[in-house]
A and B are shown apart, each in its own frame.
Chain A
Amino acid sequence: MTQPVVNVNNLERFYEMKGETVKALNGVDLSIDRGEFMALAGPSGSGKSTMLNLIGGLDYPTTGNVVIDGRDLQELSGRELAELRRDRIGFVFQAYNLVPVLTAEENVEYVMLLQGRAKKERHERAMEILGDVGLADMADRRPTELSGGQQQRVAVARAIAAEPAIVLADEPTANLDSASGESLLDLMAELNRLRGVTFIFSTHDTMIMERASRLVSLRDGRIAGDEKR
């Protein structure tokens, strides 16, 4: 039996907004296995991004807990959470993913730098991953010198460079044209297949939903469907 990499137990996240309580997540239980290529789908406000933020340790639940690789995020300090994100979780956001003052290579190296890896190792690893995403010859370019699709590829390279347990991708294709989106998805699927990286997407994009090995639908903060393929 495969060991779940993420366990979500009775997760609730409520916000106070203009005097009213908004239930972004309202009692979610979910288990995600290592190597899954999973999509969280649902309309705006269904709780996809909140779910991703909570799994990524970027936000705190109102009740319930998230366990990553056996570690309960609720029990971690701010610093430990930062270390967990650094070592075990990769992030790809919708846009403006990259640090604008760093080159593509420096962006990919950034997390490894936080980990304290040696310069030579960082460089070699960054160049290898940039080669895998097809951008080895653009290593010294800053984000403004790259197209949107190229920037997202660098973001994916950065997300997997430190060999995380999971990569959380929040609508990664939302700002790309369909050709660039498909190419990015091909890349992530290949990394999933070849390197066994677990991908968790939040998305509206039917292309991602169609290619996901598991589709979890959210509606009004609850799981409305869970389809494994």
Chain B
Amino acid sequence: MWKRTLQMAWRNIWRNRRRTLITSSSIALGLAAMIVYLGLFAGMNKRMLEIVTRSNYGAAQIHAIDYRSTRRLDLVIPDGIALLDRAAALPGVEAVAPRLLATGLLAIGDRSAGVDLFGIDLVRERTITDWHERLVAGHYPESANEVLLGDELADKLELEPGDKVVLTVADAPSGEMRNRLLRLAGTMYTGNPSLDKGSAILGIDTLRGDLGLPDGMHEIVFSLEGLLKDPEPIRAALASLASPSLEILPWQELNSGVYNMIRMQALYLGITVLIIFSIIAIGIVNTLAMSLAERRYEFGVLRALGTTPRSLAALIFTEAASLGIVGTVLGLIAGLLIHWPMAVQGLNLGGFQYAGVTFESRIFCIYQPGGTALIALLFIILTIMVGLGTAIRAGLIRPAEALRHY
């Protein structure tokens, strides 16, 4: 009997070809949109994570306690050099780099700008950030008197690689002002506005000398192996470095805005799924209700012939499920066809800003087989649930009453 039910259901859904195509297309479009949406957000998250960790924060940072809240220059990491060596030897740590941080004034002629100074280990820093890959002009600093600027800052000061610029900083122990002549090695664009508009990067030893902080470092930045999505594994990897004089923070706490945004995407996804599902559910309910109203007499005939309410309900239920499966299969095909070029060639978001991060390069969709399977399953369950209600109504039809409708 189930074979005939299946056959009748399949033939029935194609009785009104246009209505079936419209309904299954709405399911297909909804599913295709969800597949692309899932892939796009996975790609955006990955890129966002790269930008956040590779443009400044790394996977985690260590500071002296109270440094981040006070920014006092004398709050350097105690025994920084030894700590750096211990950190580098930890399992799961790919690379570490020290930074000395300060503020200063860059001036050339009558043009000047306040800047955040990053004193970096010119070799180690390459293993943490991608600044050396983000050069717009010139080259990465190689010597003590070279500086790298964000391209917007360089534009503002009308500087070009090779130009000289004067850096003024306050000596940490005495507060006396010290000047140094630097040469602009190059300019970079990171997509991180604070770096591009207001930062100057130079060798850590140069800045140590100017600030009067020999061997000083305010920050140790980490690159870690494996996933960076959650803060707990990061904390666990660095737990052995913990000390009352140190603050160890994963990137999720250093940039909680981006982290919360990534976490919120699950909620956005849920809301989007709910909206799309609701729209589709209305379409399916309409199709089934129309079909039920139009075929009332036919159901009366089937009931008269001895079809039980359960068998009639099974027929309607199978029709709804078939509609859902047709739509889902079409949606999977369409979704993968749309997703494919976006995964291979990427999507140019043209400087699109999201959660304070600029997507200056292409975003590559990342196919999410688990998510796709789950959404496809939800679509089928949705149609089945909607169909179940209509099927129960059909099963309750009284034959004598139904036979009056022709």
Interface check A19, CB cutoff 8 A? no
Q: Give CA–CA (A194, B306) in the complex, Å.
A: 25
Asked if A100 contacts B298 (CB within 8 A), the reply is: yes
* Candidates A86, A96, A116; contact of B297 at CB < 8 Å: A96
Do B8 and A102 touch across chains, with their CB atoms under 8 A apart?
yes
CB distance from A158 to the nearest CB of B (A): 8
A93 touches B4 (CB 8 A): no
User: A7 contacts the other chain (Cβ, under 8 Å)?
Assistant: no
- Indicate with 1 or 0, residue by residue over B115-132, a CB within 8 angstroms of chain A CB atoms: 000000000000000000
Using known A-B contacts A111-B306, A114-B305, determine if residue A58 contacts B298 with beta carbons closer than 8 Å: no
B residues contacting the other copy or chain, number (CB 8 A): 24
B301 touches A99 (CB 8 A): yes
Contact with B along A82-99 (1 / 0, CB 8 A): 110111000101011101
What is the CA–CA distance of A53 and B15 in the complex, to the nearest angstrom? Answer: 29
Q: Which residue of A lies closest to B404 (CB)?
A: A49
B11 lies within 8 A of chain A by Cβ:
yes
- Could you jot down 19 A-B contacts, CB within 8 Å? A53-B399, A53-B403, A58-B304, A58-B398, A58-B400, A58-B403, A59-B399, A78-B308, A78-B309, A83-B306, A86-B306, A86-B307, A93-B304, A99-B301, A111-B306, A113-B1, A114-B305, A114-B306, A114-B311
Q: How long is the Cα–Cα vector from A143 to B301 in the complex, in angstroms?
A: 14
Kindly state the separation between the CA atoms of A158 and B305 in the bound complex, as whole angstroms. Answer: 9
- A58–B306 CB distance below 8 A: no
When the two chains form their complex, are residues A99 and B400 in contact, meaning their CB atoms are under 8 A apart? Answer: no
Residue B302 interfacial (CB < 8 Å): yes
Our pick among A87, A97, A100 for the contact of B306 (Cβ within 8 Å) is A87
Residue B12 lies at the interface, judged by CB distance under 8 Å to chain A: yes
> B302: shortest Cβ distance to chain A, in Å?
7
Min CB distance B12 to A, Å, is 5
Contacts of A95 in B (CB 8 A): 406
A114 and B12 CA atoms in complex are apart in Å by: 19
Residues of B within 8 A of A91 (CB): 301, 304-305
Q: Is the CB of B400 within 8 A of A59?
A: yes
Asked if A56 CB lies within 8 Å of chain B CBs, one says: yes
Interface size on A, residues (CB 8 A): 28
Would you call B197 an interface residue if the criterion is a C-beta within 8 Å of the partner chain's C-beta atoms? no
Interface string of B367-406 (1 = CB under 8 A from A): 0000000000000000000000000000000111001001
Residues of B within 8 A of A86 (CB): 305-307
Residues 54-94 of A, flagged 1 when their CB comes within 8 A of B and 0 if not, give: 00101100000000000000000011001101110001010
B residues near A, CB below 8 A? 1, 4, 8, 11-12, 15, 297-298, 300-309, 311, 398-400, 403, 406
Question: How many whole Å from A32's CB to the nearest CB in chain B?
Answer: 19
Given A59-B398, A96-B298, A101-B8: A114 and B403 interface contact (C-beta under 8 Å):
no
Contact B1 A96 (CB under 8 A): no
Alpha-carbon separation in the docked complex, A102 to B399 (Å): 20
- Residues of chain A contacted by B398 (CB below 8 angstroms): 58-59
Chain B residues near A114: list those with CB within 8 A.
1, 305-307, 311
Q: How far is the CA of A65 from the CA of B124 in the complex (A)?
A: 97
A110 in contact (CB, < 8 A): yes
Residue numbers in A under 8 Å from B4 (CB-CB):
106, 110, 113
Q: Which residue of A lies closest to B312 (CB)?
A: A82
B21 to chain A, nearest CB (A): 17
> With a CB–CB cut-off of 8 A, which chain A residues contact B305?
85-86, 91, 110-111, 114, 158
Residues of A within 8 A of B304 (CB): 56, 58, 85, 91, 93
In whole angstroms, how far apart are the Cα atoms of A164 and B12 in the complex?
Answer: 28
- Give the complex CA separation of A91 and B8 in angstroms: 21
Closest beta carbon of chain A to B254's beta carbon, Å: 65
Cβ-defined contact, B406 with A101, below 8 A = no
Chain A positions within 8 Å of B403 at CB level: 53, 58, 93
A58 to B402, CA, bound (A): 10
Quote the shortest CB–CB distance from A162 to chain B (angstroms).
Answer: 8
**A91 to B303 Cα, complex, angstroms:** 11
